[in-house]
Structure formats: C-alpha cells, structure tokens
Amino acid sequence: MKLKFFISIFIGLFFVFLTHITEKNFLNDVEHDLFSASIISIENNSSYELSDIHRIRWIISAPFVYFNKKKNSAAQGALLFLFFLPLLLYTRNTHVFYLILTFPFFIFFGSYRTLLGSLSLLYFYFGLKEVASSLICQKFKSYMFLTIALVLSFLSSSLFAILAIASVAKMILDKKIHFVILAFILFGSVFYLDSYKHKLYFFGFVKRDQPTFTSKGDFEYSGNTEELKEPNSLKRIKIGVKNLLFGSTVVLSFSSRNYFRFTYYLGLFLLALLNILVFLSRKGTLNLDCFPILSLSALPFFFVGGLGFIACIFVIILESFNIFSNIFKRNPFSHIINSYNSQS
C-alpha cells in the first residue's frame, strides 16, 4: 500500500508538471466544444432556462472552471489526478495498477470532460465487481465507487445510459436484484428526464411547436428545428434518424477528414466487439466475472454522437486484459512459449 502510494504521488507530480508546461485547460474553444459553451453560458447567467442536469454539470465542473479562470493548468491537472487516486490505492492487481497509472496521460489527446467520463466508467467497473460481496469493507468500497460513478456520469446523457444498460445486464447475469444498483438507475433517471425528452424531440419521436433549450450548446446542437415541427410522424422520424447519423462522431470524423479520430473510434468499436466474441467463443472456460458487460453496453453508442462511447476506452481495455489474462493464465505469451517448448 505504501509503495503504491509513493509511486502514485511521484507519477501524479510528473503529470501535474506536464499539464503545467502544456497549459492544458478544462474549457476548450467554445466555437467547437458545445460542453464548454454550455458551462460558459451558465457562468455568464445565460437567459436560457436551466435544467437540473445542467446545474449538476456546472457544480461538478466548478472547481476546474475556477482554476481555468485563474489560468492555473497545474491545479486543474492535480484535481484530475486526485480523481484517479482512490482507484490506484484500492486496486489489488499490480498489472491493473500500472495500467491505470497510464490513463491520466490520455488527457493530452482529449479533454478533461472525456477523462472524467472515462473515470465514471472505471469506478462503475470496479464498483460492479464487488457489489455482491458479503464483506463490509468491500461493500463500502463498492458503494463509494458507484456513487462517484453516478456523480461523474452526469457529465453526459449517453454515459449514464451506458451505465444503466450495464446495471440491468449485471442484475440479469447475477439473477438477482441489487437494490443499490437499482437505486443508482432510478436516482439518475430523475435528473435525466428533461435531457431525454429533448433527445426524443431531436430524433423526431416527439413533436413540439417550440423546443426548449437548456444552454447555448443545446441550442446549437438542435439541428433544423423547423423540420422537426413536421406534423407527419413518419417524416419527422426520418429527419430524426438523419440527425442521429450525421450527428454521430464517427460519421462527422470521416466526413471532416479527421481520420485519426475516425480510426480511434473504429478501433475501439472493434476491440469491444472482439471482447464479446472471444468471451462467447470460450464460454466454457471463462466465468461470468469476465463477461464484458461494458463493452456490450457501449456498442450501440458507437453510432451516435456524444461522450459515451469515446469514454469507454479504459473499461474496454480492462475488459480485454481481464479476458485474455484468464485465457492465458495471466501471461498472454504463455501459449507461444508452450508451443515452442513442445516443438523442442
């Protein structure tokens, strides 16, 4: 435990130093980042009516926004690393510990919001593993992790949807209702009602004469609102499907020739798909603890926009590690070594 702590602090200080010299900030260019535009519109007392979910997002972001205003990149980096610390200190598997230590550095390829969303899924991943434990200390850790996951999942509606789907899948696999997980879903759903109503309007399932927007970001993301007032429900849904497809990050990446982001999305999708196929092909040798719940829950969100799928990178990597370490008895190269030995 002490060694883990000192290694974590050393890596954390190095990480903070890098965020300082690169001047990595929480808020990005508001012209291209709708989340930053939303937070700034709230900060500036925007005239748009705020929903509960946007108030919560502003509260979660407030410490980062404060240091962003002060132009203190190091403090923002330190705050982000503090979110990783409980995971690092509670992780028992040494290989997973070192794997998680690399995760904060992904901030230099993405945004703070993406990393915090990824953290939500990480906490959920580890919280799920021990939710059925009979040990009090394990239950406490599980409840703490699930609470952190719920709070951070408020940063994205698709992120919460992935967690909700994974929660239901967990209860089906265990053939048992976990009341803590059920409370998790119900509590989060209350705050997301307005957000999901807006999504139903945007995808053409609900007709409104005048849509409601909760921030500058939502207003700009709303597409052609005149078309969505179409009285014919079938035509409206067709428009909604078009909005869905052309609002997809993978489609936008390809159409804008951002091939790096497109390749990243496609690679993550294929890795998630591989996790599921490998598990199913070896279902006789792998137990349910290896079941790639989050890979399965994330797949549908590959086709839509938002933070949800892109934030699954860490849990998909961990599920791959879990599956293949069990197949190869914790040594992914053991089958190659054994094959060589048998030949000689």
- Are 312 and 272 contacting, i.e. CB atoms less than 8 angstroms apart? yes
- Evaluated on CA atoms 67, 70, 75, 80, the torsion sign reads positive
Q: Indicate the residue type of 87.
A: L
Distance CA 122, CA 102 (A): 13
Q: Indicate the residue type of 122.
A: L
Q: Which portions of the chain are predicted below pLDDT 70?
A: 1, 28-34, 45-52, 131-134, 194-248, 283-290, 305-306, 329-344
Distance CA 7, CA 11 (A): 6
**Predicted structure pTM score:** 0.79
| pLDDT value, residue 177 | 81
Q: Which of 103, 77, 100 is nearest to 16 (CA)?
A: 77
Q: 327, exposed or middle or buried, with CB in 10 Å at 0-12, 13-18, 19+? A: middle
| pLDDT value, residue 341 | 43
Collapse the DSSP code of 99 into the 3-class scheme (helix H, G, I; strand E, B; otherwise coil) and give the result. helix
Q: Indicate the residue type of 160.
A: F
Q: What percent of the chain has pLDDT over 70?
A: 70
Per-residue three-class SS string for 226-287: CHHHCCCHHHHHHHHHHHHHHCCHHHHHHHCCCHHHHHHHHHHHHHHHHHHHHHHHCCCCCC
| pLDDT value, residue 134 | 62
Q: Which of 72, 60, 171 is nearest to 117 (CA)?
A: 60
